[in-house]
Structures are given as structure tokens and as C-alpha cells.
Chains A and B, each alone.
Chain A
């Protein structure tokens, strides 16, 4: 059977999104495979050029820190989408809502009564020793009891075929703008691939985000709430996303210097007509840069007095300071226990098996099996510092193990997950490339999950690293929502 550019496609021999272990097309991909029969390598290249040009001219770029200031690149975009069946999506959606409900309860408890510590569900030194734990927040109850209003959870499909959570991002997760823009570009350059009226739309996200933020306004705010998006500025790698979201939601995009906290512990923005009160701040600045009076005194990005205003309850910060403790990679190890403790349920989406070096028995396991494990520093992002045991040299392995022994609180280890691949155009035809999926979860009264998310793909052959800063690309993600899906 002729498949056009799909001809001769061979998986890595590990799970593949499009083909099952017998090499049969999965049902969700049937229309896609049929549509791809009309695509040649030349046709693909021509469409890719159009897509890249659309992204470049729209300035949908990220900044690369290692290059000269202001250098911009497009996030490489791959035209072959990931497709999630309706049935599988229902599981993912329920699993993520369950997870964020539990993690928000965990945060409220940790900064409140600390029942989970007293009942010894999670070691106190793990929770309180996390750099994400902010002691200033102790006793603080945010509006609606929500700390993490916006979260992104990285999912991978493991060897056994089900989706697993690889990590949580509860500070300032980014990438949702690519979800929306990738769809726009796909509709423009590859309309023939879409199965008619069955792919769920993603562009409700900005409305949901705005509703979430306004719902979280301080109780004291009785009038029309004023919400703003606080960005580190135009040189931040995610600046495009900040301006994109501001535009789609109507949130005023502000920098730290646009705000001030007056002696009434209230946040104001500087406008041409004078100061205007601010009620909700969707902040895309890390905790440590929020307020130079409390955190890093050298930070020019934040607003002096912002923590004072937050604790006085005159303004809501989303996410609340201190939410990062719940996405600590060591705390992650206890996510199934956290879900069980607060909800009395088993996790719908499992964790990847994780060994925390701080637990002596698990450290023993790491020592004995380092070669088969992936060693991860607990509090780095962007894939930095990660050691992949099976691919590391002896020297690299020894050096990293020494660091684990020295700082056991800061390290976890996981078996290398041969996570699934998706056909991706490379060298004239479609080749398997591994990909993860980051859906975004909004939490106000009830969690809401975007139908889909950001599919990030490792563009190098055999690679497991999907981060944009390290050679990753992205794909559109289709959740099927037709009546028969």
C-alpha cells in the first residue's frame, strides 16, 4: 500500500504514536495517513517553508540566552501532528484535573496546617527543604485556596503504552502560545490533513485564562477587577508568549517598573492619567525576582513591596509565591501519595518510577543501577544537568554520582523511559522522533485542561531531549472530539 512520504517508515522498535507494535496504523491516524499519500518530499519541503516563513514574519520566536542579546529563532515546527483519540483524552483530562486538585490542596496544607507532614506521608525535609518552599507564605490562604492557577504537566507514553506524568511545572510554565499558533499555521499550510470537524479547537484557552485570573481576585476587590500580566521584558525567552497572551486576553502587559506599591500596601500601575489600582497579577517572573525587598535585592525585574501587598491580600499573584515546592522533582516522587492522602483516590495518570536519593534505600538503588538510570537535578529546568546513564561516559557518570552523594536532597533518578516517537520529517522522508506532551491546566473553582497541549519533539535521531533550548521542535496536537471518537 502506497503511503507517499510514509513509505518505508520504521519505528525505533519502541512505542510509536502512529503505528502499534505489529506495525498497524492506529485508528486515530487513519485519515492522516490517507491524506499524507498525496504528499511528496518536495511538497512537504514547500509547505515547511511556508510554515517557517509564517512563524518568522509573525515574529513567533524565542530568545536564545547563549547568543547575543536579542537573538531570536523560531521554534522548529514539524507538520506531522500528534493525534490523541477521544477516549484516551478523557483519561488524560480526568488525570490532570485530579492531579492539580491534589497539588493545590497539598500547597494549601503545606503553608497551612501541615497535616501531610504530621502524618508523615512525605518527609518534612523534602517538602520544607525545597528551594521552592517560601517560608514567608506560611499561614497564607490565597483566594479560592488556589496556589497554582496555571500549570503545565509533561506527559510521555512509556513502554507499556499508557501516558505517564514525567514532571509538573507549577511556577511559570510556558509554551501555550505555540499551541495556539501552531494550530493557526497548520490550518493555513496543511488544511488537507485535518479530518473534517473532528479536531477540538484550542483557542478557548485565553478566555479560560482570563476567567481563572479574575475568579482569583482578592475578596476585598468589589469593583471591576483589574488584571495585568507581569513580564521580565522584551529580552526574556518567553516574551513572545507574554505579549501574545496579553493581546488575546486583554490583560495589560506590564514590566516591574510600571508598577509600584504605595504605603497603603496596594499595587498601582503608572498610567498617563495617574496611578491605577491593580487587583490580579499573572506574573511570568520567578519567585526570586518578584520583590527585591524580600528576595534577590539585585533584581530589577520585580516590584519593591510586592510581597507585602500579596500577604496583605490586596492583590492576587498567580501563581502564588511558593507554588514551586509542588513541582520540585523530589516532591514529585510523592505525587501518588499526595493524591491518595487528599482525595482518597489512586492516581489516574501514573508517575514515572522515581528514586529519591534522600531516601537511603533508594540511594542504594541509584548507586547500584546508575548505568540504567537517568539522573536529574531536582531544581533545574530546560533539561540542564540531566545525565542519561546508558549514554554517559564513565567519567561523566562518576562525576554526577559524586554530586548525588554530596547533595542527596537535590537528586532523583528514573529508569530511562523509551518514550514514544511520532513520524517526523527528516532527511527526505518520515523518521521516528521522540515526543512528549505538555497540556496546560487552569485552576480556579474547578480545574480546566486545554484539549491538547504542546507536543515537543526531539529532532535529533535517537534523542530523548525535547527542550527548545536543546534542539527540540514542536508539533500541533489534535484531540479528536467527533461523535465517534
Chain B
């Protein structure tokens, strides 16, 4: 398929998934800003997870009355806000209309209009805005599976979804651990548990945690579920396995030497997750582990982009590069 279309489908998957994650995290942050006293700034973990510390400081300097929730959800001053991310998703979808189904397009456009026509924003809107966004992004993913042809493009879309999901889950775990790292004596206390419950909720994992018989909520067990579980669909291990499967399908038609680098990187990441365990991760430092994981995801993304989406033109049947054009 067209390289540009493949790349845009991959990013459509990433942006839709990121939108959903921001919405989910925002509900938890919003609740935490109302209930429970505590360490760490309000909304800090979401600001951290979306890499928008500096952007927020700058936007605050510009308009002091800007709230964290507005900045993170609806502000177009923040290129990482929920709305700004989804505007990009919708722009991509607009350029992919010949590829995606009408049903998917209408749902994408519907969420865009829902976010775009919201002029006033007050704190009490957070729940409605975010749950509606979650519902609609879930619909988009579902419709994509049920109304779009299952060809190479769908596999690239899925690659984007799973790579982004792995990245966001790692950020959810890391944001809490990094920012809300309690003093040593508080570990294991009720405040600590409150934070880890928030992590579970941010990853839609609270029920999964209980159903897998992990019992009382404890940090290492939460991290284990979100990193190593083969069954929980937002865990790093689950996402990387899915990414590997979808990437194999997506790149099946691509000549071997163009698809190899990304395949190798995903494969090694999967082997490392297979061989790892939570005790080792905690001993070596959870934050360091997640940091390294995110850096390796960036390498995967770079390999896909450089070797496939933006590869120099080549003639597959002649095995040579193009001579004219550029």
C-alpha cells in the first residue's frame, strides 16, 4: 500500500489510543484532586505523562487563570492536550477517508465536533467529557475492526494502537512512581495504596487486578500486572506481543532487509519481557526500567519510519534503487 497512507494509519492508531489514555487518566486525576490529601501537585502525573511541564508553565505565564484540567483537555495552546491530539487524529482521518469506512469516519468526525464545539469548560464537565471521549474512542476502535477491510492498512493502524498503548501504560506506571514516590516509611501504608489504586484505575486495571487473585493492592503486584501480564490487554507484555504479531502482518509484503530492523527490535523487547520478573525490576529501579523501555519503543518507531514509511524509493522486482525522481 501507499507508504504515506500506511504511515498515516499508524499515526491515526497512535493518536486515537493516546486520546483514550488521556481521557482515562484525567478522570482519575480529577477525582484525586477532590478526594484524598496528599503529596504531589494536582494533575502532575498527567502533565508529566504527556511531557507538558514546560508547555504548562508557558501557558500559565500567558493566561494565569488557565486551569490544569482545561490545559490538559481542551486547550489548543497545549499541543499535547486531549483535544489537540484528537484534532490531529481527525486531520489524518480526513486524509484517509478513501481507506477507512464511512462508519469510522463519522465516529471520528463526531468526536471531533463534540470536542470542538465546547466553548465553556468547568471542572464538573471533566467526567462527562472524559467518559464520552472514552466511549467514542472505544467505538472507533471497534468499528475499525468490524467495518474496515482487514488488509495491510488495518495492521499498521493496530501497530500504532499497540505501540502507543505500551508507551502510555509505561508512562502511567512511571508517572505515579516518579512523582508520588512517598517517603520510605509510608510505603505499604494507606496513602501508598491510594496512589496505586489510582494507577490501576488509570490503566483500567482495577478489576483485572482483583480478578487475577492478587489480593490487597500493593505496588510491586500492580507493576507486575501492568508490565508482565500476558492476559491483561494494556500491559507492556501484552501490547508488545500484539505489536509483534501485527507488525509481521503489516510488513509481510515489504522486502526482508527493509522490515528486519524493526522486527529485531520488537522481538528482543519481547524476549526481555518474557525473561524479566518484577523482583528484578524493583531491585534495579522501576523508573530506570520504564525509562529504558520507552527509549526502546522510540527505536522501534524510528526503524519503522525510516526503513518502511520513508524509505528511499526502490524497485522490488529489480532489487535496485530508483534512478530518477527523488
Q: A258 — which chain B residues lie within 8 A by C-beta?
A: 2-4
Q: B2 — which chain A residues lie within 8 A by C-beta?
A: 252, 254, 258, 269-272
Complex alpha-carbon distance, A282 and B216, angstroms: 64
Q: Which of A10-18, A241-249, A399-407, A415-423 lies at the interface?
A: A241-249
Q: A263 — which chain B residues lie within 8 A by C-beta?
A: 322-324
Q: Are B97's CB and A247's CB within 8 A?
A: yes
Q: Tell me whether A274 and B152 are in contact in the complex, defined as CB-CB below 8 angstroms, given that A234-B94, A262-B322 are known contacts.
A: no
Per-residue contact bits, chain B 192-232, to A (CB 8 Å; 1 contact, 0 not):
00000000000000000000000000000000000000000
Q: Which of B56-64, B238-246, B313-321 lies at the interface?
A: B313-321
Is B272 close to A, CB under 8 A?
no
Complex alpha-carbon distance, A258 and B2, angstroms: 7
Q: A264 — which chain B residues lie within 8 A by C-beta?
A: 324
A269-297 contacts to B, CB under 8 A, are 269-275
B1-20 contacts to A, CB under 8 A, are 1-4, 6
Complex alpha-carbon distance, A264 and B326, angstroms: 14
Q: Are B255's CB and A274's CB within 8 A?
A: yes
- B109 contacts which of A59, A239, A305 (Cβ < 8 Å)? A59
Q: Are B254's CB and A59's CB within 8 A?
A: no
- B3 contacts which of A253, A270, A304 (Cβ < 8 Å)? A270
Q: Which of B41-49, B78-86, B98-106, B290-298 lies at the interface?
A: B98-106
Is A261 close to B, CB under 8 A?
yes
Q: Are B97's CB and A261's CB within 8 A?
A: no
Is B36 close to A, CB under 8 A?
no
Complex alpha-carbon distance, A239 and B6, angstroms: 19
Question: Nearest 4 CB-CB pairs, A to B?
Answer: A260-B325, A274-B316, A246-B98, A243-B97
Give A267's nearest chain B residue, CB to CB: B325
A358-379 contacts to B, CB under 8 A, are none
Complex alpha-carbon distance, A263 and B325, angstroms: 8
Is A255 close to B, CB under 8 A?
yes
Q: Are B98's CB and A305's CB within 8 A?
A: no
Complex alpha-carbon distance, A246 and B308, angstroms: 24
Q: Are A255's CB and B4's CB within 8 A?
A: yes
Q: Are A275's CB and B106's CB within 8 A?
A: no
Give B109's nearest chain A residue, CB to CB: A59
Q: B323 — which chain A residues lie within 8 A by C-beta?
A: 262-263
Is A341 close to B, CB under 8 A?
no
B265-318 contacts to A, CB under 8 A, are 308-309, 313-317
Q: A246 — which chain B residues lie within 8 A by C-beta?
A: 98
Is A58 close to B, CB under 8 A?
yes
Is B253 close to A, CB under 8 A?
yes
Complex alpha-carbon distance, A270 and B2, angstroms: 6
Q: Are A274's CB and B314's CB within 8 A?
A: yes
Is A57 close to B, CB under 8 A?
yes
Complex alpha-carbon distance, A275 and B326, angstroms: 12
Q: Are A272's CB and B253's CB within 8 A?
A: yes
Complex alpha-carbon distance, A307 and B20, angstroms: 46
Q: B251 — which chain A residues lie within 8 A by C-beta?
A: 272
Q: Are A257's CB and B94's CB within 8 A?
A: no
Complex alpha-carbon distance, A255 and B96, angstroms: 12
By the criterion of a CB under 8 Å from any partner CB, how many residues of chain B are at the interface? 34
Q: Contact residues of B with A, CB < 8 Å?
A: 1-4, 6, 91, 94-95, 97-98, 102, 105-106, 109-110, 113, 152, 250-251, 253-255, 308-309, 313-317, 322-326
For the residues of A in contact with B, the DSSP-based class is: mixed
By the criterion of a CB under 8 Å from any partner CB, how many residues of chain A are at the interface? 34
Q: Tell me whether A304 and B325 are in contact in the complex, defined as CB-CB below 8 angstroms, given that A271-B2, A273-B316 are known contacts.
A: yes
Complex alpha-carbon distance, A275 and B325, angstroms: 12
Q: Contact residues of A with B, CB < 8 Å?
A: 56-59, 70, 233-234, 239-240, 243-244, 246-247, 252-255, 257-258, 260-264, 268-275, 304-305
Q: Are A272's CB and B106's CB within 8 A?
A: no
Q: B110 — which chain A residues lie within 8 A by C-beta?
A: 57
Q: A253 — which chain B residues lie within 8 A by C-beta?
A: 98
Complex alpha-carbon distance, A211 and B205, angstroms: 53
Complex alpha-carbon distance, A272 and B308, angstroms: 6
- A272 contacts which of B6, B315, B324 (Cβ < 8 Å)? B6
Known: A263-B323, A272-B254, A273-B253. 4 other contacts (CB 8 A): A253-B98, A255-B4, A272-B250, A273-B255
Complex alpha-carbon distance, A56 and B106, angstroms: 9
Q: Are B97's CB and A271's CB within 8 A?
A: no
User: Closest Cβ of chain B: how far from A283's Cβ, in Å?
Assistant: 16
Q: Are A57's CB and B97's CB within 8 A?
A: no
Most buried by A among B110, B152, B322: B322
User: Closest Cβ of chain A: how far from B157's Cβ, in Å?
Assistant: 13
Complex alpha-carbon distance, A258 and B308, angstroms: 14
User: Closest Cβ of chain B: how far from A259's Cβ, in Å?
Assistant: 8
Q: Are A305's CB and B97's CB within 8 A?
A: no
Q: A247 — which chain B residues lie within 8 A by C-beta?
A: 97-98
Complex alpha-carbon distance, A305 and B315, angstroms: 18
Q: Are B1's CB and A272's CB within 8 A?
A: yes
Q: Are A260's CB and B324's CB within 8 A?
A: yes
Q: Are B102's CB and A305's CB within 8 A?
A: no
Give A304's nearest chain B residue, CB to CB: B325
Give B101's nearest chain A residue, CB to CB: A247
Q: A261 — which chain B residues lie within 8 A by C-beta?
A: 324-325
Q: Are A272's CB and B152's CB within 8 A?
A: yes
Q: Are B106's CB and A57's CB within 8 A?
A: yes
Q: Are B109's CB and A57's CB within 8 A?
A: yes
Q: A243 — which chain B residues lie within 8 A by C-beta?
A: 94-95, 97-98
18 pairs, A vs B, C-beta closer than 8 Å: A56-B113, A58-B109, A59-B109, A234-B91, A234-B94, A244-B98, A246-B98, A262-B322, A268-B325, A269-B2, A271-B2, A271-B3, A272-B2, A272-B250, A273-B254, A273-B255, A273-B316, A274-B255
Q: Are A272's CB and B3's CB within 8 A?
A: yes
Q: Tell me whether A260 and B322 are in contact in the complex, defined as CB-CB below 8 angstroms, given that A272-B309, A274-B316, A275-B314 are known contacts.
A: yes
User: Closest Cβ of chain A: how far from B323's Cβ, in Å?
Assistant: 4
User: Closest Cβ of chain A: how far from B174's Cβ, in Å?
Assistant: 33
Q: B109 — which chain A residues lie within 8 A by C-beta?
A: 57-59
Q: Tell me whether A305 and B308 are in contact in the complex, defined as CB-CB below 8 angstroms, given that A57-B110, A268-B313 are known contacts.
A: no
- B313 contacts which of A57, A244, A270 (Cβ < 8 Å)? A270
Q: Are A275's CB and B324's CB within 8 A?
A: no
Q: B317 — which chain A residues lie within 8 A by C-beta?
A: 274
Complex alpha-carbon distance, A240 and B308, angstroms: 28
User: Closest Cβ of chain B: how far from A370's Cβ, in Å?
Assistant: 45
